[in-house]
């Protein structure tokens, strides 16, 4: 199951989200995906909007950043546009990711570390904050089944058990909002 919807937000609102994300208090991370089969480190920057205490490995508390106030309506807009019966109570992690362009990388090395975010059933919702190159690549049976280009205002929903990877951009920084979502009982998203 992979769904992609464009223009989830109006142009003015998507530009506002871009401006807000560009000015976050980013934290440097040495590898944005922590892939177990890491080909190489993919350094970048991260910002947690929301992290449920059950998934906080540092301290048993839920993180709710002040900026989640403007990110929550984006998630709700994505759910509506995708036509899925999900709510904020189903989201257990919402974070922004920023990677810098690396035009010196050859094409064969631009797909980053292939991974799954969690080993239990969940959904992944990606909201693309800006337009650039650096596709999200999704795999099935070790073959690429989908490549989704970052376009401001686009969202992508897929089964979290699917292996996936970001791609390193060559043109400009790549900013996404990565959300992990519990699959509510009785819902089928296939």
Please tell me the pTM assigned to this model. Answer: 0.93
Please give the pLDDT value at position 173: 96
Task: Write the pLDDT tens digit of every residue in 69-89.
Answer: 999 999 999 999 999 999 999
Strand partners, 126: 156, 178
Please give the pLDDT value at position 189: 60
Task: Write the pLDDT tens digit of every residue in 36-48.
Answer: 455 678 889 999 9
CATH number of 2-181: 2.60.120.620
Instruction: Profile the chain (190 residues) by mean pLDDT over runs of 10 residues.
Output: 96 97 94 64 92 90 95 97 96 96 90 90 97 96 95 97 94 97 73
Please give the pLDDT value at position 2: 96
Residue pair 86/124 in contact (Cβ under 8 Å)? The answer is: no
Please give the pLDDT value at position 186: 56
């Amino acid at each position: 199951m992979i769904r992609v919807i464009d223009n989830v937000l109006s142009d003015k609102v998507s530009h506002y989200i871009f401006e807000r994300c560009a000015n976050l208090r980013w934290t440097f991370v040495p590898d944005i995906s922590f892939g177990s089969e890491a080909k190489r480190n993919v350094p970048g920057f991260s910002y947690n909007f929301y992290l449920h205490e059950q998934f906080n490995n540092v301290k048993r508390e839920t993180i709710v950043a002040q900026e989640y106030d403007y990110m929550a309506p984006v998630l709700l807009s994505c759910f509506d546009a995708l036509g899925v019966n999900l709510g904020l109570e189903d989201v257990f992690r919402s974070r922004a990711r920023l990677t810098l362009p690396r035009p010196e990388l050859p094409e064969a090395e631009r797909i980053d570390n292939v991974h799954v975010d969690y080993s239990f059933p969940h959904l992944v919702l990606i909201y693309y904050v800006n337009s650039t190159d650096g596709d999200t690549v999704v795999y099935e049976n070790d073959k690429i089944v989908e490549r989704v280009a970052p376009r401001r205002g686009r969202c992508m929903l897929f089964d979290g058990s699917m292996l996936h990877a970001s791609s390193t951009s060559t043109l400009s920084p790549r900013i996404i909002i990565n959300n992990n979502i519990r699959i509510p009982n009785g819902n089928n998203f296939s």
